Chain A
Amino acid sequence: MRDLLAAVHALRERLGAIPQADERQLQDLKTEILGRKAGALTKILGELPALEPADRKAVGGAANALKRELEEAIAARERALAVAARTGGSVDLTMPGRPAWRGGLHLVTQVVDEICDIFREMGFTRAVGPEAETEWYNFGALNFPKDHPAIDAQDSFYLSPGVLLRTHTSPVQVRTMERYPPPIRVVSPGQCYRRDPFDPSHSPVFEQVEGLVVDEGVSFVDLKATLSAFARKCFGPHTATRFSPSYFPFTEPSADMQVTCSVCRGSGCPTCKQSGWIEILGSGMVHPAVLENCKIDSERYTGFAFGMGPHRIAMVRHGIPDIRLFFESDVRFLSQFTGRAAP
């Protein structure tokens, strides 16, 4: 019995040679040890029935375990040799890997998401509204005087008298204020429509992200600080902002925000028309008439609103010369921006 165990142990030594064996050596090894008739391990297993039950268990256990290990090692080596045979003996690891189709989000979607995510960090949620609107929601409730030149800048597509495609996402402000009490902190992304020519810098269909804050004690300082914080997160921590007076019927005071040009960092370049600044958004304190139109007490509550164009931001940040590229949906364009847009 001792001898049999020792023989099993001795055969175990042979395991180590298997990973280097060539095909012939492997075949010889199999015949020598595992051969059906004369294999050394086969013989040992053949002697088991003659042993005492206790010995049979010990020897049998060891022999069977070794048999399994040998078989596995031989099979692995055979597979490796087969691969080597197919590849002429060596693998060229510089050959390209096997690809799968990849897709991705539209650059404008990415920019919208990024803008909304930045505001989410500052407590804003996302709100939406319909694209076909009434004149009341698009103009009237927003304090646009009837028959006023301010409406000219937003030349609209009409669907029927009094019904149009929204020219901005500001109607969502009104719908939100009608439905929810202050405090309100929302951003509303969405598609807007104006009768602008389709040229390198205009499109009759464009995306807008608007924001609205209404609460007690909201001031112009909050407006400036919130939007400057946004600019630093969107365009980089060293971005400076500059606010200048502007006009929107639904805000008073109104302000345009410019940021230092991200291309030249303020020294002047073609992107910023040599000014060092790029206009990014319009904003202002919510006009009391708008609050009143939404049945919010304009003495108790104040607020600010802002709006920006993700197309424009994308064009500035990614050096895209023509807004029409966004709508052509050429996969050679779309595939350039498949990762998350980096600031």
Chain B
Amino acid sequence: MIDDHLTPEEQKLTEHLRAMPRRTLRPAARAAIREQMMSEFRARIDSPEWQPEIVERRRVTPVLLRTVGLVATLAIVAAVVFAQEAIRQAATTSTITPAPTELQPTQLQAITLVPSSTTTLAPSPENTPTPLNQEVVPATSVPFTLAPSDTLTPAPPTTAPVVVPPTAVDGAGVVVVEGPVSRIDGNRITIYSFDIEIAPQDPILASLAVGDMVHVEGSLAPSGVMIASTVGRFVSAPPADGTAGAAIVNGRVEAINGNQLVANGVPVRLTPGDPILQRLKVGDLVEIWGTFEGSVLIPTQMTISTSAPASGNPAPPSNNGNPSPQGMGNDDNNGNGSGNGMGMGMGDDD
């Protein structure tokens, strides 16, 4: 060892070093530092950044996640190019100006990344694609929607409408557009500047009206017209008990830590000791209504469905009497006042 080769002088020197008096921390300082540290610790574990399980998962499968992320990024690049072309075509007949930074919560606009049945891409922090330019609504592959809480069918925005380009596309080419219907012409509707063709036999056409807030999934035809495969209407009322229901998250529980969980990439904080925590487990499908405190969703309602519905949509909430997004269009649950036909980013529930 290194110390075996010390000269006598060096040995003496090291003995002096070892004999140096040991500094001791004053008891008061020791207690104060500990208290300060514990305060910081408590604040940290309550924050959404503290997600040890997710960190652990990142460590286990970094290569797979990088691969998935790369594929998703490439898909988004292609989609953005395609969408920009569609916007250019639409702009020739419209003066609507893209202004995604002006999004207001009350305008009910969202872009969601919708995993298809042909891809393993799941909305989680690991594989959330990075936004590529300003026109892409931020990397919220998280399929939650900010909804107006004061009306069932919000009127079109009075301010300059915002074009939400159909940016979120997965490997299967699924495009999602959400917003108010500004025009209906037969089986073709317009949301902002997008012409969307709905199957003529789709029952939603019978009830759809200008001003309805809808969520459409489909694909873009070379002509720039979007061919809808799923159409759903938002019913964005607050829960009947009067609590603010400004946001909805549908999806799988990805992590649980104490009274905090992550559903579809969205941090959610429940009241400590909430009985639902006892039966909640990772992988459960949940629908959560609530309000955001910063980036954390504080639920006002929450329902669990342990099995995936056949349609790929979350199970309807069990709290009858509280409005929730109504099933429309291709859904089988029309008329029951619950469930939804909006996909909400959980296309594959495998």
The judgment on whether A and B are partners is no
